[in-house]
Amino acid sequence: MSATFRTFEVHRATRASRAGGLVSLAIVAFLATLPLWAEAGTLREIDELACYLIYAMMWNLLAGYGGMVSIGQQAFLGLGGYALLVMGNFAGINPFVAVPLAAIVTALFAIPVAQIAFRLQGGTFAIGTWVIAEVFRLSIANWSAVGGGSGTSLTALRGIEKATRIHVTFWLCLSAAVIAIAATYLLLRSRQGLALLAIRDSEVASESQGIHVRRTKLGVYVAAAFGAGLAGALYFLGNLRISPDAAFTVNWSAFGIFIVMIGGIGTIEGPIIGALIFYLLNKIASDFGTWYLVGLGALAIAVTIKFPRGLWGGFSRRFDVHFFPVQRRLVLPPDEKGGSFHA
């Protein structure tokens, strides 16, 4: 038996990713100029797209990397919106400043919620999170100070000049989306990210390797809640009006899931592609009302059966294209004999 150890390198970037990085920067720079020349309607559309994207990225982080499939993340999205309302309307905080604060408050709520949610596993965990979201919805709907079942307006925004409000909201949404993507990418490249992937594959094996499974899962759950809360605060900042039905509807989860599945779960490109497809589909087909939704549902069913990890997941695996590469590639220097390891 002979063991030959040779030097190796760990590569992460790919040609595609280097190109992708440059293109992304260019796109972001272009988008930042939009408020100067695009109309309010378009800006609002992109605001909403950003919120869906952030929500979907967080759902993807939770499910695709954390292995926790939730259909109750709308609990935190709505909570973010209502935290913004309370801080802006009642505590007199500048609503733009209140946005990240609302996200933090939401993340804090996620800690006790996790204690209950983590009692369940797999499919039962998913529905359990939905029940929790319903509890949030019903609790708020019974709270008349925030408008009860019919909701209320974000009066704190009234004092701000319209153009300023629209522009700042847009830049907030754009930065939040960029930060969400960047943060997720950096997390997954880090040691914590590797731990996540290990946990996703096997909790028992991870635990035995010294990874604190519960703490890591809690961390991901709280991070995802933060992101959802951020998306919620931003969404209702632009919407000016909030109601329990709009804030806590399961449709958020439905759209988030479809974005991620059609785009591709467990990748970073996936939710971005999915959000864009979703945006386009919305523009083209939403006039068809219920039939559009039937089509969307049927599409999700078909895609999931054929590509259990989503469209981009199937594409990138088949053609080995990665714009946001998270894997580490082992690169061996060429060997004189051209052989492989002997062990």
Partner 1 sequence: MTGTLSWISTVVQGVLLGGLYAMFAMSQSLIFGVMRLTNTAHGDFIILASFGVFSVAVALGLPPAVAPWLAMILMLPIAFGAGYVLQRLVLNRVVGRDPLPSLVVTFGLAIVIENLLQEIYTADPRSIESGGLNVASISIAEGLSVGTLPLLTFAVAVAIAAGMQWLSGRTALGRSFRAVSDDRDAAQLMGLDHRHIYAMATGIAFALVAVAGALHGMKTTFAPADGPALLLYGFEAVIIGGMGSFYGTLLGGIILGVTQVIGFRFDPGWGIWLGHIVFLGMLLFRPTGFFAKTR
Q: Which positions lie near partner 1, rule CB under 8 A?
A: 63, 69, 71, 115-116, 119-120, 122-128, 130-132, 134-135, 138-139, 141-142, 250, 254, 257, 261, 265, 290-291, 293-294, 296-301, 304-305, 308
CA 22 and chain centroid, separation? 22
Least distance CB 38 / partner 1 (angstroms): 32
Q: Cβ 254 to partner 1, closest distance in Å?
A: 6
Q: Closer to partner 1 by CB, 132 or 222: give it.
A: 132
Q: How far is the CB of 95 from partner 1 (least distance, A)?
A: 29
The C-alpha atoms of residue 299 and residue 262 are separated, in whole angstroms, by 8
Q: Please identify, using beta-carbon distances, which residue of 54 and 71 lies nearer to partner 1.
A: 71
Q: Which residues contact 111 (CB under 8 A, 6 or more apart)?
A: 218, 222
Quick one: 128 or 147, whose CB is closer to partner 1? 128
Which of 320, 302, 289, 154 minimizes the C-alpha distance to 234?
A: 154
- Provide the 10 A C-beta neighbour count for residue 219: 17
- The distance in angstroms from the start CA to the end CA of the chain is 6
Ranges of beta strands (E only) in the chain are: 9-11, 152-153, 241-242, 329-331
Which tokens in the block code for residue 267? 């990748």
- Smaller CB separation from partner 1, 290 or 340: 290
* Least CB distance to partner 1 at residue 135 (A): 5
Q: Select 116 or 284, whichever has its Cβ closest to partner 1.
A: 116
Shortest distance in whole angstroms from residue 292 CB to partner 1: 9
- Strands, DSSP E only, in 162-269? 241-242
